[in-house]
């Protein structure tokens, strides 16, 4: 995809079944993105390089997902000025609590916007909102999306009543 505005990174390709929901959300809003495996533990130098170069390459936000000892979002946030959205990926044990706590408990001064365990779709939508803050057309699309959500909720309620 040319000129990506959002970088989706994950610790392993095994995270993709969860992380692809972020890509789908960005695609719905036609936001260009890139998706890569950048492991904090298995390729630390490359991970730091990715974070350092992200802003100058034109990215405007990073979505980082990892499971277990999930250090990727926080480490990226420590080397980039861009907003970093962390996605806790649930693994076989501990229901993703390990990943959630690894990502959410950042020290003051190094923020990571953490979504729910497995919440990659919301990570994608949050990235859209970040971009929409300075993009009127994108903001209008987000408002339409929100109106549609409300209409769907009403329709479901109406089904219960009939
Ligand atoms: C984490 O280890 C990755 O983010 C992934 O969630 C987990 C397991 O990775 P694999 O062993 O499946 O490659 O760093």
Q: Look at residue 162 in the predicted model and tell me its pLDDT.
A: 72
Q: Which residues pair with 33 in a beta bridge?
A: 6
**Residue 67: CATH number of its domain:** 3.40.50.1970
Q: Report residue 103 as tokens.
A: 């990502």
**Per-residue pLDDT tens digits of the chain, which is 162 residues long:** 579 999 999 999 999 999 999 999 999 999 999 999 999 999 999 999 999 999 999 999 999 999 999 999 999 999 999 999 999 999 999 999 999 999 999 999 999 999 999 999 999 999 999 999 999 999 999 999 999 999 999 998 888 887
Give the range of the structural domain holding residue 27, as residue numbers without chain letter. 6-135
Residue 148 lies in a domain: no
Residue 145 lies in a domain: no
**10 Cα nearest atom in ligand 1:** 4
Q: Which residue shows structure tokens 């095994």?
A: 14
Residue 149 lies in a domain: no
Residue 158 lies in a domain: no
Residue 97 lies in a domain: yes
Helix (H, G, I), strand (E, B) or coil at 158: helix
Residue 105 lies in a domain: yes
Pocket, ligand 1, Cβ cutoff 6 A: 10-12, 14-15, 39, 41, 66-68, 89, 91
Distance 55 CA to ligand 1 centre (A): 26
**Distances in Å between the alpha carbon of 151 and those of 121, 145, 146, 155?**
19, 10, 9, 6
Distance, CA of 49 to CA of 33 (rounded, Å): 18
Provide CB contacts within 8 A for 111, sequence distance 6+: 77, 83, 84
Distance, CA of 84 to CA of 130 (rounded, Å): 11
Residue 155 lies in a domain: no
Overall domain count for the chain: 1
| 27 labelled ligand-binding | no
Residue 157 lies in a domain: no
**89 Cα nearest atom in ligand 1:** 6
Q: Look at residue 1 in the predicted model and tell me its pLDDT.
A: 57
What is the value of pTM for the model shown? 0.96
State the complex-level ipTM.
0.97
């Amino acid at each position: 995809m040319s000129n990506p505005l959002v970088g989706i990174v994950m610790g392993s390709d095994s995270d993709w079944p969860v992380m692809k929901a972020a890509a789908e959300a960005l695609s719905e809003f036609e936001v260009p993105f890139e998706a890569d495996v950048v492991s904090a533990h298995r390729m630390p130098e490359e991970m730091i390089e990715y974070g350092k170069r992200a802003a100058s390459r034109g990215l405007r936000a990073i979505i980082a997902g990892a499971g277990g000892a999930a250090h990727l979002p926080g480490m990226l946030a420590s080397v980039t000025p861009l907003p970093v959205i962390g996605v806790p990926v649930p693994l076989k044990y501990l229901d993703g609590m390990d990943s959630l706590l690894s990502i959410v408990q950042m020290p003051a001064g190094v923020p990571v916007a953490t979504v729910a365990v497995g919440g990659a779709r919301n990570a994608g939508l949050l990235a859209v909102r970040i971009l929409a803050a300075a993009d009127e057309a994108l903001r209008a699309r987000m408002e339409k999306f929100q109106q549609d959500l409300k209409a769907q909720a009403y329709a479901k309620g109406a089904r219960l009543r009939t």
